[in-house]
Structure 1
């Protein structure tokens, strides 16, 4: 991954290895799938809010744009009295989703500039039309590490939404969550607020089939 060291103004600078086009495209593809899983989680949430919790009084049609989905999720949770206790956690999830979405958008849409060549130097110089005016081009330098972290954040968000639905919507039983936690190796940790220690999820390829059953796209993410 790392190629060589050099000195610049007394600092030791680490240079990253160039990346093959296939590896870059594979990482971008995995990120796209992981975000799709997270957005599927929001789809599941807003579907329950709209059809079962009374949020249909807020809008006539459900949003299709990712950012609009997150905003509706926030608005609906705040508007439903029985979910008042869920507002702080919903805001945390929404704010995390907005941050991840921005990073995801840079990685996905910024790759329009990555045309030609079979070997990409790191960091990659991504470019896109600046938002929302679309009058000029903006740039961002990212590495493969940034892409992988963003992809992993998407996966964690998906599980956080599953935990949220378990705790606030009663979508999963406690036994199902405990079984999921017990089967997953200790690779990554996603901690729900204490004292609900049984809500500790480990993100891995061995994710419980029960959770995958509610989020079919996860079978693509973790296999």
Structure 2
């Protein structure tokens, strides 16, 4: 028995959902890092930036720029932009969830507080439901798969037909 076993069930649910979001977000970032590595080494990414970016806002700008600049990737620019917009939205939920101070919570909702980026002396708050955090975690899992398959297709490693076949098999269809 660990000390965590002594926590009330409602609190353990929150920690489980936050951990699920954190782990699925890590998969998003790792996938994005793999895409950046490929762009940097094989698609002239080093001409956009001499070193691969590390901060998320720089990563998304970098990926957009390389896709727009490289003739082979240009046809895929709108698709990657849509995925990167979702990445940015999910990053905001992850950031609030992991970096916001938990001021109040009950079984289904929590108020998170943090200092404002634009006004550092002002606290701002946002309420989240446990369902919102769970949905963001699931969306991160889906985004990981989408980024992976999209990049493989854009890089010419897999065809759209092969992607569709994979998902048909995954769904148990023939």
Short-chain TM bin? 0.7 to 0.9
Q: Which has the higher contact order (CA 8 A, sep 6+)?
A: 2
| Unaligned 5+ runs, structure 1 | 1-17, 187-223
Partner of 2:5: none
- The alignment yields a C-alpha RMSD, in angstroms, of 2.3
How far, CA to CA, are the matches of 1:93 and 1:25 in structure 2? Answer: 27
How far, CA to CA, are the matches of 1:178 and 1:90 in structure 2? Answer: 18
TM-score computed with the length of structure 2 as normaliser? 0.84
The Cα shift of 1:182 comes to 3.2
Partner of 1:161: 147
Asked if the contact 2:90/2:140 (under 8 Å) is kept, the reply is: yes
Partner of 1:72: 62
Q: In the alignment, does 2:125 pair up with 1:139?
A: yes
Partner of 1:218: none
Partner of 1:201: none
How far, CA to CA, are the matches of 2:45 and 2:93 in structure 1? Answer: 29
Alignment of 1:77-96 (within 5 A): 77-96=67-86
Greater than 6 Å deviation, 4+ residue runs: none
Comparing both structures, which one devotes a greater share of its residues to helix?
2
TM-score computed with the length of structure 1 as normaliser? 0.67
Structure 1 residues 134 and 180: alpha-carbon distance in aligned structure 2, compared to 1, 3 A threshold: farther
Comparing both structures, which one devotes a greater share of its residues to strand?
1
